[in-house]
Amino acid sequence: MLKGIDPLLTPDLLKVLAEMGHDDAVLLADANFTAMRLAAGKPVLHLPGSSMLRAVQAVASVLPLASDVESPVAFMQVSGTTPPYRSGLQREVLDMLQPSLLPGQQPESIERFAFYERVQSIYAIVLTGELQPFGNFILRKGVIGENLRP
């Protein structure tokens, strides 16, 4: 055990998050996500008993969000809806992340198949136990430095 580190963050997950560089992205995916097909050699880590909100809270506790982009957070749009529709889970997660966004930054809603395309450029996938469909979030890593958010 480590002091101050969320116990949900496994050693393997901490390693992957630490290895990520500026502007690399991590996908936190629901249990329905086709992670193994889309991984294409990327690390896939499992948090099978975790809800999405809990997983995002844990990852966000150690991962600085990118400050140099308009949307450091992206989420999969619910099929059959148009923005700005957000599911209850999406609203809950985005509300939790809102204090980490800088003025002018907004989460990006991405259509399902475009989201799958975006996954091709991510660094790693964290597959949670979340059962709510379309509960998938991409977080872009920023930097820690003087005059930047923690």
Q: At 118, which helix (H) or strand (E)?
A: helix 112-119
> Where does residue 98 fall: left (phi above 0), alpha (psi -120 to 50 degrees), or beta otherwise?
alpha
Contact status, residue 54 vs residue 137, Cβ threshold 8 Å: no
Handedness of CA 57, 92, 65, 83 (dihedral sign): positive
Question: Is position 46 annotated as part of the catalytic site?
Answer: no
Distance of CA 4 to the CA centre of its chain: 21
Query: In this structure, what is the dihedral angle of CA atoms 92, 62, 51, 79, given to the nearest 10 degrees?
Result: 60
Catalytic site residue from 22, 34, 79, 112: 22
* Residues carrying an active site annotation: 22
